[in-house]
Structure 1
């Protein structure tokens, strides 16, 4: 789209504002005094909130409206709600409205206003963390893993039956994946998270990236007219120990909302890996034990300022540093066809690692008129950098422990730097016939990767240019979207969206002097339909097309040697894969939710564990090698078995059909996968909670791979002290140590490979949380029509 056309597209709403508005005002109070911070909501004839405000210190309020019929609703914690239907023809003064005090006991009010753990919306599932005790003193990654229908394993976050998911914070995409994404999420305390949105088919407003949809982390905002500080200290004991200290501060007064957090972690964890390769000459069995440093320091600053009742400007800064040094002891045993040990290799290595990222965001949100037309701009800058320095020596021995010689001795030094700059404009443009939204985004990404290999077998480092490389990669993306939402009647609601993305990529490998370009223009439609049959039953149908672009490191063609007979290499010719996602859902009383889904992936890419049978070399590479049709049915059930027992349960049945589109000398195989989880909260008293969680996934086959079972049994306990200003929590995670990746099996070129990885998932945690601050006003939250923007501005 030309720049001039895009400018007209974005400025269209400014030409539609010539409509007269009228003032509605009034004053809220009780029998004796005016009431501040009362919520005033304006609903149209369809019952939808079109505007809202809160009363000032003297109890007064004022709202601009168009002519028409409305219902006004006034609410305040501790008082009965007030409702009245009004007709606006001229400026209207409601006069004094007297609220009656609610005679219900305060404790009962708190119980009734408690949020549901799971809320089903038209295009997403909302998971509220506050009810799950195991999230006390946890981080964002562990919180995501407790969300219904989401699994975290082997550095991958997936929505069950969908595939790998991208992650956002407050609607802003995190430009990380894999291990780097997980490390970043571990730096975010779960106590800072308001809820997690699971968006299996994201609307056109969001990037089309991510076959498995999006997971949006919504951060908490400070309560109005208050400040609060939370200090958290915890200790994890696995094979080693990990200490964590966090401090979070919120300030919200008048026109200013400010938050700051500092997080620090230090300690170690253990990682055990086993890789078995069944060559024709015999088994090659690798066992690795790694002591990894878990050291992190991170911080966040966020500031929002209301220039006026209509315009808010905000700034956010996040910085995260990790130092995951690790020492590995690797043993590779080689057997003959009679399963007798012939020789073995001992590889001792130490890796000095450091990584970090920083994110800057500037946003402006302005309400254009009383019809709830809103325009927002976002400018984001993201930088990620990592340094890796690995020294190793591998010695060969005979079966009788006789030293043969040095297999390999070297030093790997690699650096990676990624920069992403993006600009986004979004417009909400309600019309009489349809709620319209549209916008545009441009994004610029640059990535540089250096790999240097020094041969140290003589004792003097010698640079090997054939194993050293510099890889440059750029990716630019331009996108526009339009989305329409129409409430047909009290039962039917429709939503349609279109997103157009234009992408240009360029990869250059200096060592082999190879340039790879890939440019493509793609359209991504979305569709949602919901039907509310009655108070107990509602149905929805949605469709979305998605894209899955390869990570930057997967495009680097250079080989990184694990041993002299094992290496990993990227593929600069990787192309993105595409998916078409369909889902039909039913909700019964918002307690029982059923989801039936079908996803079709074309040009799918992934890791291939292949081998060279002539040299008995293991090769780990990446290819576009399959297409896949996956399907399934999921059931989730929210139960209150007693006043003291709440339970969230899910059961998924998943299947797939895979075809290989490239000759990789392998046969696809698929089987049924069953995933079950239950999360149970027991209220043992007014200040005591017990949490018991269990999850289990059956062994299954999916395309090229077969995966073993995984399960986890967790117990958490929380005790509130000193009027809930302090909490003491205990967590026993993965008590039976069965949640790790096991028996990850593939057969390529007639060679069977089996891989397992066991991290420190079994641990016990003791946590102390202390809250203090000025909490004299506790305002009940209410969803307005501009709720998304209010989340970002702190309201």
Structure 2
């Protein structure tokens, strides 16, 4: 049934697009930059009354339905540009098509200085290779974190452990301004929660990256673009806010940009305290091999992270062709975590009924430093370019934990206590070099080539102690649960990418990337050395067909890889409670994904994306339940394969002049094949998610944004997740000529965004419910200041992948 629906939608899309008669063209400015969201109106020549009109798309293209027979003018207008009239021209038949070609608007300097315009921009746009979600200036961004904005993006899903999925698939790589975030899992979540969404410009969702990007990321790449300096002189902003979600939090910061002559510099500082609370229930039932036991646990987690962060950089332009620069990022975070649980363990087969009251207490500190040196240059007048990036990143973290367990036998009333302690420091040193070269080798052909080399050294130590509850200073090292592990890895990569404009209607981009991986993991003090060495090739293919001025199709394919996170390869035992722990897996292999997409765009506004992915050796967390002692071991493992079909529809609607709605729907089918204890299990599910965001300009200068979302049941590995729905609202008001913004927001208004799921295999059952206190209220202030003229700053970005895999520390 799903395939029939997709096929029907596809055919309707093609028939609708190909049957339209249109007036088409493209708008650009004097620098040949496409003018997006400009107004194109069709006027009667007799009285200049408007007949119809459209807004240009992200690439400046427009397509206006052909009006009735008559004589008309085109009126082209955009904020900051002089209005332009084209014509007159005559429509001789209702089905006539006319292409006006490329039209250029000139800047209106006086308007730029004197006029302030309030408008609503589209929330979501789709390009040939990515989906762009606008964040800057929205009411919900105020006081939110980058993590909260990210999880509201189309197709993005966050599992119970904070891992990101895209269109139901794991293996997402997160980049910031083109640079990898260097983390995954909970560490990535902590870092994004410490980043204010007020500094985010947009989020790019790249489902099928080209060969220019690292091959890592089986389900794609998410690139968070921060606001860039766009003015001469000094400008910036100050902001502060308060949040309440059963606990109080705050954030404050400043951004300052300064450009004078050939120098362009910036500094941004942010300090925040972000509470994270969780209420949850976990139930496990053991029935394998005649067992009859039930584990029931109530959970209550209190966690607060304090994070000061500093980012600074500078660029120097030797001339208009060559520039050098440097960027540095520093952050320090401290986390206090208290996790309380009441566990009822009733083993009916053995006649043992135990109650455990536990408290887990963690003091976590993390420090990160990242340095980038870059050069970019144009080597001739034909567009030949060279970019060089050198990166060094250092992460240090430490987790001191204390586990206090109190046992009571409900059959006899006997009780006992247990006190455990762990000391877990870790570090990562990453060195990387990127060289990218581009040249126009023919009139309509561009060649891009590049090289990357990286070296990673990671270390992790876990010291596990059993303490005496009566004499807390007396503790004994448990060598069986202690370890010290080092992992080194070198990756050498090269790519070539060719872009060809074959005609006005057809464009081709094809590339090939090769990556050689050499890794070695070894326990300090002796033990088996794990060596990993493999060479892989990753092709990519993009074919764009501009069927008409209003209808475009993109066919794309790419092969991707996901290497295991460094910590996952460490054969540690990570304690959770007396009945639960996690183990590393040094035998974990990389997973490989083949991804296909067909993207259709109508009227530069509506998009339908059809996709299919197949992943071999897909790795996912598998809870292995042991009915002999009623324990559960969590381990990331390679399952046989995972495949998914998906259809994504993006349909913005303008309800009224001041009311825009962005709608996106994702439907698909997920299927996972898993081999557990020589038994093949299949976990599959039809999925559907929908999200609608309303932007409304109200009287008195108020801006309202409301988002409603729904997610049907989904799968991940052996897990099945239940339905979710939610609603967020935000209100924004500007003062002092738009220099001061006041924002009030509320998230998960009805407290419905619970994470509920289960797994069932080999006669055992696993069920959980978690609520992370998504319901909150926020109040934020932001003051913007400036002194100087507009200018265009260069976008400095590099692409690293290695520290994405440094998660879990």
TM range, normalised to the smaller chain?
0.7 to 0.9
In the alignment, what sits opposite 1:203? 210
Question: What pairs up with 1:712-791 in 2 under 5 angstroms?
Answer: 712-743=726-757, 745-774=758-787, 776-778=788-790, 790=795
Closer/same/farther in 2, CA of residues 372 and 414 from structure 1, 3 Å limit:
same
> Shift in Å at residue 131 of structure 1?
5.3
In the alignment, what sits opposite 1:369? 380
TM-score (norm 1): 0.84
> Shift in Å at residue 725 of structure 1?
0.7
In the alignment, what sits opposite 1:30? none
- Which range is displaced more, 155-164 or 314-323? 155-164
> Shift in Å at residue 259 of structure 1?
1.2
Report whether the alignment pairs 1:685 with 2:699. yes
Report whether the alignment pairs 1:573 with 2:600. no
In the alignment, what sits opposite 1:6? none
Closer/same/farther in 2, CA of residues 99 and 675 from structure 1, 3 Å limit:
closer
In the alignment, what sits opposite 2:441? 431
Contact 1:161 1:632 in 2 (8 A): no
Contact 1:566 1:618 in 2 (8 A): yes
In the alignment, what sits opposite 2:335? 324
Q: 1:645 aligns with which of 656, 659, 667?
A: 659
> Shift in Å at residue 119 of structure 1?
2.5
In the alignment, what sits opposite 2:63? none
Contact 2:171 2:217 in 1 (8 A): yes
CA deviation profile, 1:663-722 (whole Å, cap 9, x unmatched)? 464622211111110111110036210111011111234552211122221011001111
> Shift in Å at residue 416 of structure 1?
1.1
TM-score (norm 2): 0.82
Closer/same/farther in 2, CA of residues 39 and 288 from structure 1, 3 Å limit:
same
Report whether the alignment pairs 1:351 with 2:362. yes
Contact 1:373 1:427 in 2 (8 A): yes
Closer/same/farther in 2, CA of residues 517 and 662 from structure 1, 3 Å limit:
farther
Counterpart of 1:143 in 2: which secondary structure?
Answer: helix
Q: 1:410 aligns with which of 420, 423, 428?
A: 420
Counterpart of 1:183 in 2: which secondary structure?
Answer: helix
Counterpart of 1:730 in 2: which secondary structure?
Answer: strand
Report whether the alignment pairs 1:656 with 2:670. yes
- Which range is displaced more, 665-674 or 635-644? 665-674
Closer/same/farther in 2, CA of residues 430 and 740 from structure 1, 3 Å limit:
farther
Q: 1:610 aligns with which of 603, 624, 632?
A: 624
Matched residues in 1 for 2:220 and 2:513: separation? Answer: 15
In the alignment, what sits opposite 1:440? 451
> Shift in Å at residue 792 of structure 1?
5.2
Contact 1:410 1:453 in 2 (8 A): yes
Closer/same/farther in 2, CA of residues 699 and 98 from structure 1, 3 Å limit:
closer
Closer/same/farther in 2, CA of residues 535 and 393 from structure 1, 3 Å limit:
same
Closer/same/farther in 2, CA of residues 530 and 169 from structure 1, 3 Å limit:
same
Closer/same/farther in 2, CA of residues 254 and 619 from structure 1, 3 Å limit:
same
Counterpart of 2:518 in 1: which secondary structure?
Answer: strand
Report whether the alignment pairs 1:553 with 2:567. yes
**Please, what is the CA RMSD of the aligned residues?**
2.9
Matched residues in 2 for 1:488 and 1:111: separation? Answer: 41
Matched residues in 2 for 1:453 and 1:373: separation? Answer: 57
Contact 2:30 2:105 in 1 (8 A): no
Closer/same/farther in 2, CA of residues 756 and 464 from structure 1, 3 Å limit:
same
Closer/same/farther in 2, CA of residues 184 and 405 from structure 1, 3 Å limit:
same
CA deviation profile, 1:310-342 (whole Å, cap 9, x unmatched)? 111111011122211111222111235499993
Question: What pairs up with 1:152-551 in 2 under 5 angstroms?
Answer: 152-154=158-160, 155-266=162-273, 268-279=275-286, 280-337=291-348, 342-399=353-410, 402-406=413-417, 408-432=418-442, 433-457=444-468, 459=471, 460-510=474-524, 513-551=527-565
> Shift in Å at residue 348 of structure 1?
1.9
Report whether the alignment pairs 1:598 with 2:637. no
- Which range is displaced more, 553-562 or 208-217? 553-562
Matched residues in 1 for 2:255 and 2:500: separation? Answer: 41
Counterpart of 1:181 in 2: which secondary structure?
Answer: helix
In the alignment, what sits opposite 1:32? none
Contact 2:83 2:105 in 1 (8 A): no
Matched residues in 2 for 1:681 and 1:457: separation? Answer: 60
Counterpart of 1:369 in 2: which secondary structure?
Answer: coil
Higher relative contact order (CA 8 A, sep 6+): 2
Contact 1:672 1:701 in 2 (8 A): no
- Unaligned runs of 5+ residues in structure 1 are 1-37, 45-73, 84-96, 782-786
Matched residues in 2 for 1:401 and 1:759: separation? Answer: 37
Q: 2:155 aligns with which of 146, 149, 153?
A: 149
In the alignment, what sits opposite 1:54? none
- Which range is displaced more, 676-685 or 170-179? 170-179
CA deviation profile, 1:639-683 (whole Å, cap 9, x unmatched)? 111111111111111202322255464622211111110111110
> Shift in Å at residue 42 of structure 1?
5.9
Closer/same/farther in 2, CA of residues 665 and 247 from structure 1, 3 Å limit:
same
Closer/same/farther in 2, CA of residues 381 and 103 from structure 1, 3 Å limit:
closer
Q: 2:80 aligns with which of 77, 80, 91?
A: 77
Matched residues in 2 for 1:289 and 1:371: separation? Answer: 63
Counterpart of 2:186 in 1: which secondary structure?
Answer: helix
In the alignment, what sits opposite 2:709? 695
Closer/same/farther in 2, CA of residues 109 and 244 from structure 1, 3 Å limit:
closer
Contact 2:179 2:797 in 1 (8 A): no
Contact 1:665 1:748 in 2 (8 A): no
> Shift in Å at residue 742 of structure 1?
1.2
- Unaligned runs of 5+ residues in structure 2 are 1-27, 35-76, 87-103, 799-809
Closer/same/farther in 2, CA of residues 676 and 589 from structure 1, 3 Å limit:
same
Contact 2:29 2:105 in 1 (8 A): no
> Shift in Å at residue 263 of structure 1?
0.7
Contact 1:129 1:194 in 2 (8 A): yes
Matched residues in 2 for 1:276 and 1:299: separation? Answer: 43
How many residues are paired up?
Answer: 704
Contact 2:268 2:310 in 1 (8 A): yes
Contact 1:40 1:75 in 2 (8 A): no
Matched residues in 2 for 1:612 and 1:569: separation? Answer: 14
Counterpart of 1:176 in 2: which secondary structure?
Answer: coil
> Shift in Å at residue 81 of structure 1?
7.1
Counterpart of 2:628 in 1: which secondary structure?
Answer: coil
